[in-house]
Amino acid sequence: MTQYNATMSSDLNERFSLCRSCGEECVQNDDELRALLQDKANPVVNDVFEPSGRMHIAQGIVKVLNAARLLRAGCEIKILIARSFVKPIISHCDSERTPVYSPSPA
């Protein structure tokens, strides 16, 4: 888990720009994002995706670039993959030793 420190972007406007550049479709209200960044040194970002088939190389590169921007802004990142797409991967592994996160039903 990356913790925010002085070597990361400390300026609120820079942190805002970094976060805004990779979450345009997710950020509905700029004021809320600014307030979140001001109140929390390490806000948590959930990157939830449901891959369909093989991921194109450009998607992988963009995902890494966005993660780097968010880390530079001091965010913690949780990458979540839809369980229905993880099952086939797990079935090829040793299921006894491969942990699978199972959220409790809401």
Q: What is the mean pLDDT of each run of 10 residues along the chain (106 residues)?
A: 48 91 77 91 86 78 91 91 60 52 53
**For the purposes of burial, counting CB atoms within 10 Å of the CB of 22, is it exposed (0-12), middle (13-18) or buried (19 or more)?**
buried
Spell out the CATH class of 12-89: alpha beta
pLDDT at 77: 92
> What CA–CA distance (Å, rounded) separates 80 from 26?
16
Domain map of the chain by residue range? Answer: 12-89
pTM of the model: 0.64
Would you state the pLDDT for residue 6? 42
Parallel, antiparallel, or unpaired: how do β-strands 44-49 and 76-81 relate?
parallel
pLDDT at 103: 55
